[in-house]
Structure 1
Amino acid sequence: SISGSLKKSVQEITRTILRVKYMEAHTQSLHRLPPHVQQKFVRLKGRDKLPELLQLLKERPSSGGAVLIFCNSASTVNWLGYILDDHRIKHLRLQGQMSAAARAGIFASFQKSDVSVLVCTDLASRGLDTSSVQLVVNYDFPDTLQDYLHRAGRVGRVGSKAPGAVVSFVTHRWDVDLVRKIETAARKRTGLPGMDSINKPSPNAG
């Protein structure tokens, strides 16, 4: 019937409008840096990254919350883990070469705060409840602005006791351009350049 078809059309249009509004409302802040989280960039040579990290870990107060240390590869996660073992710094490791069951166990252990330091790849930058995290260290600077944003989003979350901080080690010339863009976005409280289209609905969304 005409009334039935009209009713169906109205329902479809309403669903489309609601879906678009929902996505827009939730994506406006997705490509912005959290304003309450401190962003710190440390320019250093590659050989100085390890001493800098060890100093950061040893100087932090015992009540300083959890720490996420991001590396760009599984091999760096493993290597760094051996070094932390040598320095008797209790930690967990999380990287993509582990089985799904092993990763799930590490996620659970970290979220229960059994261990407060997690050395990881970008696997941990998405989907991990990190309300206890107060420090993110980019041991390896991320390859993209999007990766940086996801890592930075692990601190200062709802339920966190402190706003948190992100400390990034910058060692390569090609990282400096990304750093400038991040610093400008943080200072101006604007979205990161090139991120505006991420997750936004397409014009043909139906």
Structure 2
Amino acid sequence: MAAEEEKTMTFKSLGLCDQLVEAVDELQWKSPTPIQLQVIPHALQGKDLIAIAQTGSGKTGAFALPILQALLDSSQAFFALVLSPTRELAIQIAEQFDALGSVFGAKSVVLVGQVDMVQQSHILAKRPHIIVATPGRLLDHLSRTKGFSLGTLKYLADRLLDDEFKQDMDKIPNVIPRAGERRTYLFSATMTKKVKKVERAGLRNPVKIEVASKYSTVDTLKQLMLFKPAKNKDCYLVYILTEKFQCTTMVFTRTCDTTSFLALMLQNLGIRAIPLYGRMNQSKRLGALNMFKAGKYNVLVCTDVSCRGLDIPSVDMVINYNIPQDPKNYIHRVGRTARAGRSGVAISLVNQYEQEFYFRIESHIDKKLPEFPAQDEEVLQFEEGVREATRLAATKMKESGGKKRRSGGDNDEQDIEAILSHKDGRKFGKSKNFKKR
């Protein structure tokens, strides 16, 4: 489709019905995104799809709108299944289905772990139209919830395509209608062309749509790096957050313990930080996410549980405190900012243990990232405050049963006892350059 033609296309011209055009107007979606422009016409024609698009490009709308239009013609229970890699993304997808389908009463249910199965079973008993689920909890209900079956399913949308879900995903084709009896949509920001994955989903002559290169980031994202020793990483993190104190920021770590520890350390320095990681129960995870969205906290310290698909429009900056080993996770992480045409910044803190991971990322995105301009003498003025904040955080983690933290790389994980041994008796928070939030 030519660029000029794309500019003139509307949701109505793509073939969507008046009810859905009204729904997108209420959501203030002014015009279709490139992935929506290419996907929706094929989907409305009943084609199976494999689609690659950048993060923040409108993939959920691209498959939700055709599914809802088909639902209008056949108001059937358990009409569509959407598979999600995380609980938070599942909830977000369901919210979008509810918003788009509210004009004609479309109902959805979210099936994820850490939520009472009996409560979910009661909602399933009301026979909703759309099921949004993580694979494990879906299989739990299929085996344990009386009367629940996907034998009449018409649409499957898969947001997974990751080897970590392979065991569960291999079971799902056995409990849904065969290819040809359902439509299947596969969507990803980083999908690789692995034949087994396509065969697993049972696609029939799928239309392949790619509006981004295999490992692509958006042009409105400014990507930077900072190479410093692991022992100084916390100081540089605090320096960046202080220099960019007006930003809403997501800080990505590798482990749950690091996430907890950094959030405590930053809180001790007066930074409004809150943790989000997989070991938290679902109510606490949603609570943390909602408080971050509402602006009560402006720094979300998180593991990769938050890097897949979450749409938080206000995120200005992403910091990679730990460099991900898989370049695809880098794409997903930095995709939390600069979404839907907005600008954003991503800064990667690289230490001596992480160079190999970082070079993999540069190779895959085909970019050499410029260095973040940090004044070393200014950074080191935070050292005293950070050291004391670290000691206090370690003490609190020890009191609450925490065992370990990771201070910047694969090879430098330390016991809390070791951290506590680094007392120096100085007063906390005396750095004259520290800017309070």
**Normalized against structure 1, the TM-score is what?**
0.73
Taking a change above 3 Å as real, the CA distance of residues 27 and 123 of structure 1, as seen in their structure-2 partners, is: farther
Cα pair 1:35 1:186 within 8 Å, conserved: no
Q: Give secondary structure in 2 for the equivalent of 1:92.
A: strand
Change (3 A) 1:103 1:30: farther
Give me the whole-angstrom Cα distance separating, in 2, the residues matched to 1:101 and 1:157.
Answer: 26
Q: Secondary structure at the match of 1:147?
A: helix
Change in CA separation of 1:103 and 1:159 when aligned onto 2, cut-off 3 Å: farther
Matched-pair contact (CA < 8 Å) for 2:327–2:360: yes
Go from structure 1 to structure 2 and tell me whether the alpha carbon gap of 1:182 and 1:39 turns closer, same or farther (over 3 Å shift). Answer: farther
Counterpart of 1:50 in structure 2 is: 234
Distance 1:179 1:148 in 2: 7
- Higher alpha-carbon deviation: 30-39 or 102-111: 30-39
**Gapped runs of 5+ residues in structure 1?**
1-13, 188-206
Correspondence for 2:269 among 81, 87, 100: 87
Q: Which residue of 2 aligns with 1:197?
A: none
Query: In 2, Cα distance between the equivalents of 1:25 and 1:107?
Result: 32
Native 8 Å contact 1:111 1:129 kept in 2: no
Q: 1:33 aligns with which of 217, 238, 254?
A: 217
Residue 94 of structure 2 corresponds to none
Change beyond 3 A, Cα 1:42–1:20: closer
Q: CA deviation at 1:175?
A: 2.2
Q: Per-residue displacement from partner, 1:85-135 (whole Å, max 9, x unpaired)?
A: 221111111011100111111112212222111000011112322211111
What secondary structure does 2:339 align onto? coil
Whether 1:70 aligns to 2:252 is yes
Residues 112 and 45 (structure 1 numbering): CA distance in 2 closer, same or farther, change over 3 Å? same
1:33–1:186 contact (8 Å) kept in structure 2: no
1:19 aligns with 2:49: yes
Matched letter for residue 164 of structure 1: G
Q: Which has the larger radius of gyration?
A: 2
> Could you tell me whether the CA contact under 8 Å between 1:107 and 1:128 is conserved in 2?
no
RMSD of aligned residue pairs (Cα, Å): 2.3
User: 2: distance between equivalents of 1:78 and 1:91?
Assistant: 10
Deviation at 1:43, TM superposition (A): 1.0
1:20 Cα deviation (Å)?
4.7
Identity of aligned residues (%): 26
Consecutive unaligned residues in structure 2, runs of 5 or more: 1-44, 52-184, 187-207, 370-437
> For this pair of structures, how many residues does the alignment match?
169
The aligned residue for residue 14 of structure 2 is none
SS at match of 1:38: strand
Q: CA deviation at 1:184?
A: 2.2
Contact 2:215 2:364 in 1 (8 A): no
Name the CA distance, whole Å, in 2 between partners of 1:93 and 1:174.
27
Letter in structure 2 aligned against 1:15:
G
Instruction: Using the TM superposition, give the Cα deviation of residue 54 of structure 1 relative to its aligned residue in structure 2, in angstroms.
Output: 0.4
What's the secondary structure of 1:140's corresponding residue?
Answer: coil
Q: Is the 8 A contact 1:70 1:119 kept in 2?
A: yes
Higher RCO, 1 or 2 (CA under 8 Å, sep at least 6)? 1
